[in-house]
Each structure stands twice: as structure tokens, then as C-alpha cells.
Amino acid sequence: MKFFVDTADVAAIRELNDLGMVDGVTTNPSLILKSGRDIAEVTREICEIVSGPVSAEVVASDAEGMIAEGRHLAKIADNIAVKVPLTWDGLRACKVLSGEGRMVNVTLCFSPAQAILAAKAGASFISPFIGRLDDINLDGMELIAQIREIYDNYDWTTEILAASIRSVNHITDAARIGADVITAPPAVIKAMASHVLTDKGLDQFNADWAKTGQKIV
């Protein structure tokens, strides 16, 4: 399973990348807003840190506008994946941009039917949003399972990029189902290391060690 980081926070990306935890990055207009930075500038900086795919999202609503924006964003670096929304125009843009050899991430996917269309349009990645389905009392993880089953039926190579991840359980469940990639906020990736019994065990070891009066170095 590949790990993408869902952020435009360069310091957080650098920290995880130094640990070998970053296979790619995803951004979106909300994350660019949160960073407070210029999209081209921050995306270029991220691409200098991370060698894997870095998703940069278009904002036009018509296919021609998305294609123009996608071509422009793709000039930032060779590892840009142009992110387009799962609308009919987004699918048209996906077909054109993927036909030009660019990586395309089709985002805002909420149904298996949408995921089928993205694969047919040549998407490199399909981004089903787990958390936002859970938010409205639907089952985000079930969508990942449905897309996995369908893509495997036909050996489609579009990678399932599980997005809108809010918890450690989302990551482990997506891994069990066989999502190709997860993209998660840095805090959720870091939370994977935490366990109450690890903390408790460490406290006990430290207390016992202090009683030995020894030093290792």
C-alpha cells in the first residue's frame, strides 16, 4: 500500500518524507487555502521534496478550462498528477489529459458507478471519499470494497486512492480491503504509531530501569 499525505503543509511533508513514509502527496483548494500559500509556489516546493505523484487540483468547471489548467499545473514538475472532479466535464478532461500521458486523479468519487467511469476515462487514480460518506451515515469503506471488486473483475489498472481519511481505522480497513493508496492528514498517519499499551509498557520499563541504577551508554 502506498502512503500519500493529504496536505500542503511543507514542514509536515518533509518530516514524514524523511522517515520514508511518503509515496506521494494530495492537495485540493481547501488545503491550499489552509497553507496560505500560492498554489504554484507551494506545489513546486512539494514536488522538490517528494518524487512520487503530487496531486494538484483544477478549479474550472468546464472541460476546456480544466484541460488548460491541468496542462498549466503539469508544467510545475514531471510528478504532477492533475486532479479533476468526478463530473462529466471532469471525465472529458481526464480522457484528454491522460491521453497526453499525464497522470490524472479523479476526485470527489462517492459511488461505484462514478469509479467505473473514471477507469474508462483513463484515470491513474480514483479518489473515493470515505469520511464524507460516513459523515452522512453511509458506509465509506463499503465503497472502497465495491470499487476493489469491480476493478479486479476486469484487471483495471486505475489505482484506488482512499481519501477523506479521518482515523487510523480508516487506514487499516482500507489496507485490508486492498486499496492501492491511502491519502491521510499527517496527524492521522502519526497517530498510527500510538497505542495505550505501548505507552503503559514503556512507563513500566522506564520505572524498572531507573531502579537498576544502570546506564547503557
Which residues are near ligand G3P by CB under 6 A?
Answer: 6, 26, 28, 129, 131-132, 163-164, 166, 183
Nearest distance from C-beta of residue 179 to ligand G3P, angstroms: 13
- Closest residue to ligand G3P using C-beta atoms: 164
Nearest residue (CB) to ligand G3P, 34 versus 176: 34
Active-site residue, 83 included: yes
Rounded CA-CA distance 199/16 in Å is 22
DSSP 80-110: EEEEEESSHHHHHHHHHHHHTT-EEEEEEE-
Bridge partners of 26?
A: 6, 55
Rounded CA-CA distance 152/128 in Å is 16
In the chain the first and final C-alpha atoms are separated, in Å, by 38
Nearest distance from C-beta of residue 128 to ligand G3P, angstroms: 10
Cα angle 43, 70, 181; round to 5: 65
Nearest residue (CB) to ligand G3P, 115 versus 198: 115
Nearest residue (CB) to ligand G3P, 114 versus 183: 183
Nearest distance from C-beta of residue 148 to ligand G3P, angstroms: 18
Nearest residue (CB) to ligand G3P, 136 versus 210: 136
CA 197 to chain centre: 29
**Cβ atoms of 17 and 49 closer than 8 Å:** yes
The three-state secondary structure class of 38 is coil
**Catalytic: which of 83, 95, 200, 211?**
83
Q: How many angstroms separate the Cα of 37 from the Cα of each of 93, 99, 103, 165, 203? A: 26, 31, 24, 23, 41
Nearest residue (CB) to ligand G3P, 24 versus 122: 24
Nearest distance from C-beta of residue 170 to ligand G3P, angstroms: 10
Nearest distance from C-beta of residue 51 to ligand G3P, angstroms: 20
The three-state secondary structure class of 54 is strand
List residues with catalytic annotation.
83
